[in-house]
Chain A
């Protein structure tokens, strides 16, 4: 048990400190790196409570893909130059009330959910038909996700698909006058398309039309 709590407190302290550092660090790229550290320690906590599938998915999706794209955007936009001062600059002070309202709402929701779960467990309709001890949590997740919640699962997939298509449509543009390579054109090109043998009369020359 002692080792368990040592690991738990280490990971939670790292998670909380890096979450604070995400907003507090002056360099935006450093913020993203702290965010990654936060994700990693959260996934360690997931693994500690026995949800190893969630922990690994967290690593793959958030750290392996989402945070890389974050880093990409932050590095490309060169926002690293703009020092975002903690609670001091003009621009950030405008956002503080909104941020405070949102974070208060999230905090209240968390208290309601966690409190309700602690003191009124019968309010939560948890599917107890699964015998969680017998199957690994990947199996049990799959059994719930693809049976009871299949519609929610499909709808969330569709929403993601729509978002993806929307992003592609927004950034897609056809520029005129740009030469693009077409493999089919290149492969299907015959000798007769490009080369022709002409009988050139002396002192007249040939007119090449293209």
Chain B
């Protein structure tokens, strides 16, 4: 009985986290399309519900009732597993995101490593889907995407080291609390820019959406997917984007801290600030999609390995030397 009560308690907490995340994913898809449309002087989805807010839910319903077509020459088990893996990985990472000092599902010691590990596992959904489809375009898309994600993960890892040097802990709440006086976006501004661009590449967003470049690869790894399975890829992708935004907000924008510790700001609870920061980053993601043309693949690789990696490594040396010289290293 004791176990059962713990179990139900946890399930209740998990649902209380996951349902808002899924709903906000749906809303964020709408926001993305709306921003994209406004930049191009279009209206975007504005018919279903007020301001078209229910458009994504209508789309999701449509996908649910569509037939799922599994190609006869595909590897069926892996073909079905791929969208499930994408969706699951996009959701389990939310377990460690702190919404305030106490509102976190799992306040683990190695929170940032967990986030990094889960985001690096994200490549499997894509590579499994591309390979199991047993078709040329998905396979090419999957190979491209795997190479791209592995490359940009390296620079994200080095950027995380930069932040960790200033914090001295892998716990996400400690990272947030270390920014009480100064958000890391100010001293580490170049790293924030590189993190943002690497996050675009990591989530296969434009201008780095080469895995699904429709002019060359139809739809990349999701070409053969239909119905609910396609919708899962699609929602998983957006959940991943939100996750990267949350990661950026926690690492650089002070997580759930309010911008100023003075009266009107302190009234607003922590989760609201975190959501606002995530939305701000997402708005940037959406704007970038609308205003930047797609990269060429060799340029993308060159940018990752020959520009971002050396730059972030140099910045690690700079940060470490600065902290060491001025005796600011967070040693406890």
Contact = CB atoms under 8 A, between A and B. Distances in A.
Interface of A: 3, 29, 33, 36, 52-53, 56-57, 59-60, 63-65, 68-69, 71-72, 75-76, 136-138, 181
Nearest to A2: B3
B170 interface: yes
Given A33-B78, A68-B150, A136-B109, A56 B131 contact: no
Contacts, number: 61
B328 interface: no
B146 A71 contact: yes
Contact of A64 (B109, B120, B170): B120
Interface residues of B, number: 25
Contact of A53 (B110, B124, B146): B110
Nearest to B153: A64
B57 interface: no
B113 A56 contact: yes
B interface majority secondary structure: helix
B108 interface: yes
A60 B113 contact: yes
B120 A52 contact: no
Interface string B119-152: 0110110011001000000010001001100100
A65 B153 contact: yes
The 4 closest A-B pairs by CB, nearest first: A64-B120, A56-B113, A59-B117, A136-B109
Given A56-B114, A60-B117, A60-B120, A68 B109 contact: no
Interface of B: 3, 78, 108-110, 113-114, 116-117, 120-121, 123-124, 127-128, 131, 139, 143, 146-147, 150, 153, 157, 170, 298
B124 A36 contact: yes
Contact of B108 (A36, A52, A68, A76): A52
Given A65-B150, A72-B143, A56 B110 contact: yes
Contact of A71 (B3, B117, B127): B127
